[in-house]
Amino acid sequence: MAAPGQESGFEIVARKDFSDATYLLEVRHPMMARAARPGQFAIVMPHEHGERIPLTLADFDPAKGTVTFVIQAVGKTTREMQLEARAGSRLFAVVGPMGIPSHLGASKKVVCVGGGLGVAPTYPQARACKQAGAYVIGVVGFRNKALMFWEDKFRAVCDELIVCTDDGSAGIKGLVTAGIAQAIAKHADIDEVIAIGPPVMMKGCAEATRAKGIRTMVSLNPVMVDGTGMCGGCRVKVGESVKFACVDGPDFDGHQVDFDDLMARLARYRPEEKAALERWQDSCRLAGRTEVS
């Protein structure tokens, strides 16, 4: 990460920690804040030796000139950012918005489903649906109450909000699919379900709506390098065809997506990712830096 005060790079204006693994970064980028639409993502490269990671935009504020990412510290890059990013520090590269914006506004009654980290990028979708005049039912799922965030933001844009936790410590006990089932049971006229979260969760959501034939859009986040269609690393199977999530997506019809293929492809650099994380953690210990979880 570039040193604070340095001119190059993109300034982090705010940071907030939702849990010991999940954190929010608000980055100054007035042009992107103006151009961004729900469903789009950006690619972040924290420092010059870093990798380019795709992050779905969790919020964007044209008035403040900022874009917001909610990040889960899972691998080397995201943990390193968790350790080093703070208000005033800079990210080496941030490029976006990327991808085709979600097609919102046609549906009258929408269920916006966010699971875990996917709760964050679901927020701009719910907000846009509300602004377009739809009846918005929010379904947000977390492992437990301590990991919850943005409940207030969702309440502000949703007509109904269903909170699901794995252990029942908040809202209903169960997965987001239980929340979808509850919404479908109450409303017979749901036009669309928008689901964002881990692939296995989106797969579950697609299965939950398949029998009723409710249009279900999912936002895919496969491994990417450039994010501009150039490398083809993010290719996904959708129905009979192969699509590049970066330029043909990231939104696709959840009933058509081959999630098993997506999950297998997400695992393709796992040995290297594991080695990088272990090596980095060792170097942190040697340097006597704060122990990271």
Binding-site ranges for other proteins (CB under 8 A): 10, 31-32, 35, 40, 45, 49-52, 76-77, 92-100, 225-233, 235, 237, 242, 244, 247-248, 261, 264-265, 267-269, 271-273, 275-276, 279-280
CB of 20 to other proteins, least distance (A): 22
> Quick one: DSSP state of residue 2?
B
Distances (CA, A) of 281 to 76, 99, 202: 8, 33, 31
CB of 178 to other proteins, least distance (A): 30
Decide whether 48 or 167 has the Cβ nearer to other proteins.
48
Q: Residue 32 or residue 184: which is nearer to other proteins going by CB?
A: 32
| Residue 282: CB minimum distance to other proteins, A | 11
Nearer to other proteins, 31 or 106 (CB): 31
Residue 43 beta carbon to other proteins: minimum distance, rounded to whole angstroms = 9
Considering the complex, what minimum distance in angstroms separates the CB of residue 5 from other proteins? Answer: 20
- Cβ pair 56, 221 in contact under 8 A: yes
| Token pair 């080695």 in the structure block, residue | 275
Judge whether 237 and 203 are in contact, CB under 8 Å.
Answer: no
Q: What gap in Å lies between CA 273 and CA 38, rounded to an integer?
A: 29
Residue with tokens 């490269």: 45
Residue 272 C-beta-side C-alpha neighbours within 13 Å: 6
Nearest CB to other proteins, comparing residues 10 and 149: 10
Q: Of 26 and 175, which CB lies nearer to other proteins in the complex structure? A: 26
d(CA 274, CA 75): 8
